[in-house]
Amino acid sequence: MRTQKLGGSELMVPVVAVGCMRIDGMERGAASRLIGTALEHGANFFDHADIYGAGRSEEVFADAVGMTPSVREGLILQSKCGIRPDLQTFDFSREHILASVDGILKRLRTEYLDVLLLHRPDALVEPEEVAAAFDQLEQEGKVRHFGVSNQHPRQIELLKKYVRQPLVANQLQLSITNATMITSGLNVNMENAEAVNRDGGVLDYCRLHDITVQPWSPFQFGFFEGVFIGHAKFPALNAKLDELAAKYGVSSTTVAMAWLLRHPARMQPVTGTTTPERLADCLRAADVTLTREEWYGLLIAAGNTLP
């Protein structure tokens, strides 16, 4: 597995992250096989969040991997906090961040996180409290790197005014069919719908400020409406995916993931599958480099238009 630096840090990470959102209902053996597949391919970066399975996903992971200090040394663990479904709120208060991390560490059976992300923006955020929480977590050795999720440039700038630590990642929804952060940049100064800037130019901002974009739901269309691979709604896209899959001797899943990796922003897509075979297909994308023509061909086949 190819590696790259995470944001402006010195932390070297696989170019594909393994998402653990859906493992909460897996039996130990099945979860162990999934994690084992990742590790066999050199994918040792695992993405969690305290709300995944109400914390159960982190527990299943720790049990499945047989967490010990020696096992922990070979893993890169990222988790997220800030969403409180029990209260229907977002919460970036110092108290909640600190309590959330303690819960995450307990469930993962580890003394530290490699990366902590703030999970979706909190309209009531007090950036001074975030800064105080980050300082304490860093000083206590509980978190080594920090980032955000689903935030636009001004929200990040507000945090950076107070937070000392570099923000190394921003996890955002992105796929061939959900590519507005790319297509709006292609339609600058146009009067069509594609020209609408919905995210404040977050892709270019992250590139300028050494923040790694981590695409989530890389195979979904809409907001969890379904997977576009093999879906009747996208015949042209699937025909193109199948064509390139045959050319490179891989699956359509691999090609769709390679599309994200081809972008020069050096993104780190996050998988979501619980099937070892499909996970292996995702990870093989690190070895496929699409041509410029193939990349644009997939963009257009997904229904995106060029000006």
Residue 246 falls inside a structural domain: no
Domain extent at residue 52: 3-234+263-288
Residue 248, domain member (yes or no): no
User: Is residue 284 domain-resident?
Assistant: yes
Catalytic residues: 52
Confidence (pLDDT) at 213: 98
Residues in the chain: 307
| Among 123, 122, 119, 173, residue whose Cα is nearest residue 146 | 119
DSSP string, 201-260: SHHHHHHHTT-EEEEESTTEETTTTEE-TT-TT-HHHHHHHHHHHHHHTS-HHHHHHHHH
Judged by DSSP in three states, 290 sits in coil
CA distance 262 to 218: 13
Q: Do the domain assignments include residue 304?
A: no
The two three-digit tokens of residue 245, written as one number = 């899959």
178 occurs within a structural domain? yes
- CATH code, domain carrying 207: 3.20.20.100
Per-residue model confidence (pLDDT) at position 223 = 84
What pLDDT shows up at residue 59? Answer: 98
Q: Is residue 92 part of a domain?
A: yes
Q: How many domains does the chain have?
A: 1
Q: At what angle do helices 276-283 and 28-40 cross, to 10 degrees?
A: 20
25 inside domain: yes
CB neighbours (10 Å) of residue 62?
A: 18
Question: Is 45 within the bounds of a domain?
Answer: yes
Question: pLDDT tens string for the chain (307 positions)?
Answer: 999 999 999 999 999 999 999 999 999 999 999 999 999 999 999 999 999 999 999 999 999 999 999 999 999 999 999 999 988 999 999 999 999 999 999 999 999 999 999 999 999 999 999 999 999 999 999 999 999 999 999 999 999 999 999 999 999 999 999 999 999 999 999 999 899 999 999 999 999 999 999 999 999 998 888 999 999 999 999 999 999 999 999 999 999 999 999 999 999 999 999 999 999 999 999 999 999 999 999 999 999 989 9
Backbone angles phi, psi at 14, to 5 degrees: -60, 150
